[in-house]
Amino acid sequence: MKPIVLKFGGTSVAGSTEIGQVASIVEPYTNSLPVVVVSAAAGVTDALLEAVEKASLGYAQEAVEIFDAQIRRYLAIVEELVASKKQPLLSGQIVNQIESKALSARSSLLDTKMLLKYPKKMTDEVVSLGDMLSAIVVAEVFKAYGIAARSVDARHCIITNDCFTAAEPILTETLPATEKRLKPLLLKGLVPVLAGFVGSTLLGTTTTLGRGGSDYTASLVGEALDAREVQIWTDVSGIKSADPRLVPDAQTVPLMTYEEAATLARFGAKVLHPKSVAPAHRHSIPLTVRNSFEPEGRFTTLVKKDKKVGCVKAVSLQKDFQQDSLIAVVGERISENRVVKERLEELLAGELFYYLQETGAAFIGLVVKKDRAVTLLRRIEKELCRESNQICFSRDFLQGSSSFKKLA
């Protein structure tokens, strides 16, 4: 049986209630070789970055106050969870681990000389704390819920270069190190829990992976273990057909290719960062985006290839122009679907300035007036993104075919 990787984001581990929900999600997988990756609790990483900035400017007291507030937050989570499970011994174990990690990070925060000389290196020493504390707390809480878990120091798995705050994993080191650390635990029936976002250099110096770092960790773990699936648990039900802030009834896209997701991100959509899913893509591992607050709800599965090609999967809006906006209409090889292009021209009659497209690309760019962009985006989403309205062609008939068919 191949392992399964479950990654939980900051909102999923934001408090005692949320971590209890995480335990209830993981419990059914305990006989399926699960590995859990966790982020810092929501808001903690930003707060730690603020603490570093204050310290570098000489405001040590303010920096410590911000830093200590984050430690108290984790201790409060522990107190609430331990009280609910009535296990006082558990409290002492976790508190000792939290205080030990905090002491080291606080020392780095207050080392002004080193902070000014090596700002990025010292930033990583401090900012990595949030994710590492989440791993410690979640693993111990799992035990209280009857899940045999073990916290694993991610720095022994994710081996990177020394580009601090945006380190890149060294695959020839990371993949075997991750397998070596995690497989023995899985064979013993334990659930490894490790921090996302965090790694270390070959010399053992702490690093962080930058934007999308926790998802990146989960994807790397999946690649190292040849996982059957990587699950990304967050606070949204998959990838939406449009930004829900602009289209409140936007639909969850059930199936999307890695290329389509990367294209959406390229045009500003808040989906998985392309870097973060590259390992799963490379190894053809299905990756799902799920909602930890609605675990039985709809979700999106990312795959290498979809049997349907040319469909409009999603739309995204960029307003970074003076008077115009760019609507990106996203779907694999959509630029070759003449029927979709004709339909777009109908929907945007008289309001389309020009197309932006590349042969074989997964998007069509539509430049329109900024004050009309949202209205037109909603129109396209409704008429072309909904599954019942999609205009696609089968991959089997792609070669040498100019015919398109509507697939339900």
pLDDT higher than threshold 80 for residue 242: yes
Residue 300 maps to a domain? no
Grouping H, G, I as helix, E, B as strand and the rest as coil, residue 72 is: helix
H-state helical runs in 205-313: 213-225, 258-266, 274-282
pLDDT tens digits for range 341-389: 889 989 998 888 877 877 677 899 999 999 999 999 999 999 999 877 7
Highest mean pLDDT among 80-84, 113-117, 211-215 belongs to 113-117
Q: Which domain holds residue 195?
A: 4-235
Residue 299 maps to a domain? no
Higher pLDDT, 386 or 216: 216
The pLDDT confidence band at residue 53, using thresholds 50, 70 and 90, is very high
Cα distances (angstroms) measured from residue 73 to each of 96, 115, 288, 359 = 15, 25, 30, 51
pLDDT higher than threshold 50 for residue 191: yes
- pLDDT mean across residues, the chain: 90
CATH number of the domain residue 87 falls in: 3.40.1160.10
Residue 325 maps to a domain? yes
Q: Which of 214, 235, 256 is the last residue of a domain?
A: 235
Domains contained in the chain, number: 2
Residue 264 maps to a domain? no
Q: Phi/psi at 381 (nearest 5 deg)? A: -60, -45
Residue 301 maps to a domain? no
Least confident stretch, 181-185, 248-252, 256-260, 335-339: 335-339
DSSP assigned state of 211: T
CATH number of the domain residue 326 falls in: 3.30.70.260
Quick one: residue 86, left, alpha or beta (phi over 0 = left, psi -120 to 50 = alpha)?
left
Q: Which of 235, 257, 285 is the last residue of a domain?
A: 235
Residue 347: how many other CB atoms lie within 10 Å: 16
Same domain assignment for residues 217 and 315: no
Same domain assignment for residues 53 and 196: yes
Distance between CA 7 and CA 221 in Å, rounded? 10
